Amino acid sequence: MTALPSAGLIDLDYWVLAPVLAPALGALLVLVVDAIAPRARGLHLPIGLTSLGAGLGALPYSVASATPTRTLCTPGPEGRCFYETGPTGLTLQLIALAASLLVLLMLGPGTRHLDRMQRGGAAVTVALVLAATAGAAMVVAARDLPTWLVAIELATLPAVALVALSRGRGAEGGALSLLMVSLTSFALLAVGIGLWVLATGDASFSTDTLRVAFDYPERHRVLLLAILFLVAGLGFKLSAVPFHTWTPQAFVVADEPIAAYLATVSKAAAVGAAIVVLGPLVSLTAMGRDDADSIRLVVGVLAAASMTLGNVLALRMDDPLRLLAWSTIAQAGWVLAPLAMLTPSAVSASVAYLLVYVLGSLAVFGVTAAVHPRAEGAGGRSLAAYLGLARRSPLLAVVLGLGLLALAGLPPAVVGVVAKIAAIGPVVATGQWWLVAVLVVNIVLGIAVYLRWLLYAVRPAPADAPTTRGERLDPGLLIALLVISAALILLSLLPGLGLGLAR
Amino acid sequence: MTGPIAVAWALLVLVGGAPLILGAGLVSRRLASGLAQLLALVAAGLGVVAVMGAHGAYTLPVLRTAPPGASTYLPLFPARLATTSLVATIAATVLLVVLAVQVFAASYLDDDDRRPAFQATVSLFAGAMLLLVVSRDLVLTLVGWEVMGWCSYLLIGHWSRKAAARRAAYKAFLVTRLADAAFVIGIVALIAIAGSSDYGAVVQHADGSRATDVAMTALVIGVLGKSAQIPFQDWLIDAMEGPTPASALIHAATMVAAGTWVLTRLAAALHSATVASWVLACATAATMSYAAFTAFLQTDVKRILAWSTISQVGVMLSPLAVAETAVDGQGAAAGHLFSHAIFKALLFLTVGWLAVLAGSTAARDLSGVGATSIFATAVWGLGLVSLAGVPFTVGGLSKEHVIAVAAWTDGDGPGLRQGMVTAALLVTVAMTAAYATRAFLIVARPRTVPGAEAGPAPRTGLLARATLVALAVATLAGGLVFLVSPLDPGHLDLPLLGVSVVLIATGVLVGLRLRPDDAADPAPLMTRASRGWGADAAYVAVVAKPVLALARVVAYVDREIIESYVRAPGWVVSLGGRTGVRAHAPERVSTDLLWVVLGLLVMAGVALWG
Amino acid sequence: MIHLLLPYAVAAALVGIGTYGVLARRNAVLVLIGIELMLAGAGLLLVTAGAVGGDRWQAGNVLTLFIITIAAAEVVLALAVIVAVFRRRDNIDISITTALPASAPAAAETGDPR
């Protein structure tokens, strides 16, 4: 089933749209089932998993057909397509859907557990997760402003709700912070869009319109301002400095799978949105124009600041979720650094790094979920709970080791090393030596951050510790951890696989 | 080619046998002991084969290094073994002495739980010495030299549960190591000058230039260290802490003589190096007389033998420094090496046996022990006769040869060097006779002062006795070897022979007259002598303390100055982290919003200004 | 057609006042109002762009509608969260610290393996 019998207005290719439609329909289905049969609580999670699986299953179709894959196209010679994915976009969709699937697995088939974690129970949680995932999958492929705006907000708001529904201690504070920053950023996005339409006279992310706009001096400045507003509006979602302050507050009060969701799918959505915004600039730079040099500087500064501040503060954190929050901020810098170079290979490198980052983060979040089974909220968790993990639970220690080493960029998680090299490559190629220096320093800092945690797991527990610390390994969590570890190991053995995906 | 091949096999047997003996020791001590003796026997047999098969000079390449004709900018490393009949003789002597030591150690260390380790080390040591003897290559020599140094450390410190033994072991190691530094420098310089490490090439290129002179001086200093000459003499005395078979091995046949052997092979080069010859001459002259004098005043018989060794090694080395021709010097040195090996081994092994009978090796305790065993006394006497250099014993023959070579001038009058050395030699002859007499009297005369209680009569095996007999026979009849081998007795100078006899007689009279053992308490002079006249304290003050102080300074610099560069970034990051945590600690939403808007402003500023 | 300076000036004023509201107000609902003002300014910009541009797809006007819709959805969520916060804490002052006393202890006090 490809095109709708042409109504002459727009063509729809449902297979291509499936990665977006499947989660969205799944969310609706969950809500409908909850309305019709409120007692059938065991159905919600399977519905969620199935819809995400369906979305993932439809991805190869887009891969097999022509790249870039287009749909939602208006007819006629000046027709343009509102949905377009190339290899980068498909990889990002893969990341978003797969990460979402793994997060749902981590939330666990035990609905009692979900009820304990989140207010509203399984239905609300699964619906929110699916809705946000649909938004993430959509924003990656959006080629015009309205679609993009709707998608990014669809990806943001359910996350706010998820944090607010957490039963953790202090959840309302974290949710309030996330909410306020989200709203302010939306306002900034709106202003940015207004300026964009003003400058280009067109509501699409196309290279030609930008080129034309950049040629007029007064439009040039307005357009630059528009791009800045858009990037600033996206900054909070990326957890880039100085839009990062909500991250520690929100992570620490949320349940671990929800925090994992914030750290992975939200980031994928943000990176996708940023790539869409900066995409025309990449094409312009490839043409040899220097209009975007100031943007390159700005995004580079954001990346450098995020990396450094994130690593420096993560070194002093004792709560594992706060550590992960600051680590997320630092990794955001790593994802942004190649992106700031505004070259096509740099964009692929950024997405490849994101893939490794997502896998590593999910592994670590999963282990955290197992070690701290109760939603403890702020101040309830400590790294001391990991002492002697290697002896108590070797499986968790190995997964933790894989994840931390992948994030740090150390063997035997070779995939982490490759990702770091892939991220530095474009920066060196463009000749931004100040940024290279910052990257190198941060490699060292990053190793310190993650090894510090790993050392806790490797050291023996103090003699007076209880023999079992109450780790819980639900079947869903176990499956998720095994899948993530397998993916990390596979990518370590065949790093070209990960890099090739993004090209 | 039988010579080199037999020698190569002997090397393999000895070196490969060492871990085998250790392994056998894990199974059973008797098995290890038997294996050790067997291997030593095989090696000695191979040594005899080598002697019989060595007509002329053959060489055997050990390693294939550079292909022939290839030019590299590195010096050539031919790595050859060689056996001339001289080499083969010395090699066979060494191996026979090693056999004696292994057999003796089997019964002497009968109640020692670490006997297999001892015998394994002896085997390895023997292999290293053999390598040094037969090597025709400076690098192989160095390998043997260094391995011997390590093995001597193990052997001296064999009774490692005693603190004194441990200290003696590492003192020996450190002192010789210090000299070895000069040795290595000398070897490297010689290789650099000659462009190859082969002895032949080195001797060819030794042309008396300043470079050769410096190299040979360094080499001589290294030899002085290993041979316990002044100023390195004190380690040998403390090395008596080791078991007697070890002392017999190290101080008779092998390590102290190794330096002599190396200089013998390079005699031509030494002959043309004036400064090196002077250094050697002064050191040996001073040492041989000083050591002989000190030997007379010792309170412990084993130390008498130790000081005697120092003195005799000086005698061994002296002809190399003053001979008119290199060949003469070679012959004299090698001859005395050969005979010293035999009679010193005999003396050490016998004193070991006597010490077991008497309970200790102190002169007081050994006094009169001769009455218990006529056999031991006889053997002891024979060894001492040879030591004193009575004519026609093997010791006498070689000593005469040395004096003759040292004194003989080629017509243009004795130089200062020659005169000094000859005078020292004559003085030494007299004093050697004196302390030899004293040593004999200690054992043979009835006990006059009360001493330690004698221990139970040991179970000395038949083999051990047989060994001593064989060595005694060699002491007497070894002179025959001089007639059939290249150890040329050389110029048998009758006037000098007469002078020696007179000197020996004088010495014996002195020994009979002065009876330091009759006094109940040792005189203060003897006490100071037995402590080596404070040489140990001098070593510590002059070498050990400054080096340790320097090491502390270096450690301080590394820790405080260099490491602070490494710690500084960590401190900076930590400070930054603490500041950041404090800044983020009050988690106010209003601050978050402020940061967002400020961020936008900063971005705009950077973009529009940049 | 009026002079374009007028809508631009009003839009700028709206965004400015809205920003002020976001930064200076302590009550969460008032911050929300500030955000709404900013959105209004953005909407005005878009409508102006639509009137000026003559885009076939009427992007400016369409986007304004989108923004209004999304803003509505956001306000629903925002007020729900604010009500939840109020129920828990009895105030919705965003300038008081939300940090709990035992959060973020210094790593050195818990014996980290440095």
Task: Measure the CA–CA gap between B147 and B153, rounded to whole angstroms.
Answer: 10
Burial class (CB in 10 A: 0-12, 13-18, 19+), B541: exposed
B447 has pLDDT over 70: no
C82 has pLDDT over 70: yes
Amino acid at A387: L
Please give the structure tokens belonging to residue B257.
């003589």
Q: Which residues of C touch B593 (CB under 8 A)?
A: 22-23, 31, 94
Q: Maximum distance among all alpha carbons in chain A?
A: 76
Q: Give the pLDDT confidence score for residue B58 in this predicted structure.
A: 60
A224 has pLDDT over 80: yes
Q: Could you tell me the pLDDT band of residue B450, with boundaries at 50, 70 and 90? A: low
Amino acid at B24: A
Q: Which residues of B touch A301 (CB under 8 A)?
A: 603, 606
Q: Is residue A43 part of a domain?
A: yes
* Unique residue bearing structure tokens 């002078």: B499
Q: Could you tell me the pLDDT band of residue B73, with boundaries at 50, 70 and 90? A: very low
The nearest alpha carbon in chain B to C16 belongs to B597
For residue B81, list its beta bridge partners.
B60, B135
Q: pTM for this one?
A: 0.67
- Among residues B500, B364, B370, the alpha carbon closest in space to that of B432 is found at B500
The nearest alpha carbon in chain A to B581 belongs to A313
Q: Could you tell me the pLDDT band of residue C22, with boundaries at 50, 70 and 90? A: very high
Q: Which residues of C touch B584 (CB under 8 A)?
A: 104
The answer to whether the CB atoms of B587 and C26 lie below 8 A apart is no
Q: Give the end-to-end CA distance of chain C in Å, rounded to a whole number.
A: 70
How many independent structural domains does chain A possess?
1
The nearest alpha carbon in chain B to A323 belongs to B581
User: A73-77, B73-77, B337-341 — which is least confidently predicted?
Assistant: B73-77
Please count the residues of chain C: 114
- Residue B573, chain A, CB below 8 Å: the answer is yes
For residue A83, list its beta bridge partners.
A71, A142
**Which of C67, C84, C101 is opposite residue A190, by nearest beta carbon?**
C67
Is-contact A129 A102, C-beta < 8 A? no
Q: Could you tell me the pLDDT band of residue B482, with boundaries at 50, 70 and 90? A: low
The answer to whether the CB atoms of B589 and A225 lie below 8 A apart is no
Task: Measure the CA–CA gap between B156 and B167, rounded to whole angstroms.
Answer: 9
Q: Give the pLDDT confidence score for residue B212 in this predicted structure.
A: 86
Q: What domains, with CATH codes, occur in chain C?
A: 5-91 (1.10.287.3510)
Q: Is residue A30 part of a domain?
A: yes
Work out the minimum CA distance from B556 to partner chain C, whole angstroms. Answer: 23
The answer to whether the CB atoms of C38 and A203 lie below 8 A apart is no
Q: Which residues of B touch C103 (CB under 8 A)?
A: 585, 587
**Mean pLDDT over each residue of chain A, to the nearest integer:** 87
Is-contact C94 B588, C-beta < 8 A? yes
The nearest alpha carbon in chain C to A456 belongs to C113
Subunits with 3+ Cβ pairs within 8 Å of C are: A, B
Q: Which residues of C touch A324 (CB under 8 A)?
A: none
Please give the structure tokens belonging to residue C44.
């005005």
Work out the minimum CA distance from A187 to partner chain B, whole angstroms. Answer: 11
Q: Could you tell me the pLDDT band of residue A4, with boundaries at 50, 70 and 90? A: very low
The answer to whether the CB atoms of A232 and B599 lie below 8 A apart is yes
Q: Give the pLDDT confidence score for residue B37 in this predicted structure.
A: 87
The nearest alpha carbon in chain C to A146 belongs to C63
**Mean pLDDT over each residue of chain B, to the nearest integer:** 81
Q: pLDDT tens for residues A238-265?
A: 999 889 999 998 998 888 889 999 999 9
Handedness of CA B489, B495, B501, B504 (dihedral sign): negative
Q: Which residues of C touch A183 (CB under 8 A)?
A: 31-32, 35, 74, 78
Q: Which residues of C touch A145 (CB under 8 A)?
A: 59, 63
- Residue B595, chain A, CB below 8 Å: the answer is yes
Q: pLDDT tens for residues A342-376?
A: 988 899 999 999 999 999 999 999 999 888 876 56
Q: pLDDT tens for residues A28-82?
A: 999 999 899 888 777 888 888 899 999 998 888 877 776 677 777 766 666 677 8
A2 has pLDDT over 60: no
**Which of B584, B590, B597 is opposite residue C95, by nearest beta carbon?**
B590
Q: Is residue A9 part of a domain?
A: no
Q: Give the pLDDT confidence score for residue A78 in this predicted structure.
A: 66
Q: Could you tell me the pLDDT band of residue A26, with boundaries at 50, 70 and 90? A: very high
Interface test with C, best of A72, A169, A198 (most C CBs within 10 A): A198
Q: Give the pLDDT confidence score for residue A303 in this predicted structure.
A: 95
Q: Give the pLDDT confidence score for residue B484 in this predicted structure.
A: 58
Q: pLDDT tens for residues A172-183?
A: 888 999 999 999
For residue A144, list its beta bridge partners.
A204
Could you tell me the residue ranges of all domains in chain B?
1-136, 137-530, 531-583
Task: Measure the CA–CA gap between A415 and A489, rounded to whole angstroms.
Answer: 8
Q: Give the pLDDT confidence score for residue B481 in this predicted structure.
A: 64
* Structural domain that includes position A114: 14-501
DSSP letter assigned to residue C95: T
- Residue B605, chain A, CB below 8 Å: the answer is no
Q: Which residues of C touch A249 (CB under 8 A)?
A: 98-99
The mean per-residue pLDDT over the stretch C47-76 comes to 88
The answer to whether the CB atoms of C26 and B589 lie below 8 A apart is no
Interface test with B, best of A177, A214, A296 (most B CBs within 10 A): A177
For residue A73, list its beta bridge partners.
A11, A81
Q: Give the pLDDT confidence score for residue A379 in this predicted structure.
A: 67
Element (H, E) at A307: helix A293-314
The answer to whether the CB atoms of C95 and B589 lie below 8 A apart is yes
Q: Which residues of A touch B595 (CB under 8 A)?
A: 242-243, 245
Q: pLDDT tens for residues B170-189?
A: 888 989 898 999 999 999 99
**Which of A181, A188, A301 is opposite residue B606, by nearest beta carbon?**
A301
Q: Is A453 helix (H, G, I), strand (E, B) or coil?
A: helix
Q: What percent of chain C has pLDDT over 90?
A: 54
Work out the minimum CA distance from A476 to partner chain B, whole angstroms. Answer: 34
Q: How many CA atoms lie within 13 A of B26 on its CB side?
A: 5
Q: Which residues of A touch B598 (CB under 8 A)?
A: 242
Q: Which residue has the higher pLDDT, B256 or B228?
A: B228
C114 has pLDDT over 60: no
Q: Give the pLDDT confidence score for residue C106 in this predicted structure.
A: 39
Q: Could you tell me the pLDDT band of residue A111, with boundaries at 50, 70 and 90? A: low
B355 has pLDDT over 90: no
Task: Measure the CA–CA gap between A425 and A431, rounded to whole angstroms.
Answer: 10
B458 has pLDDT over 60: no
Interface test with C, best of B567, B589, B601 (most C CBs within 10 A): B589
A467 has pLDDT over 70: no
- Highest average pLDDT, of A464-468, B88-92, B350-354, B429-433, comes from B429-433
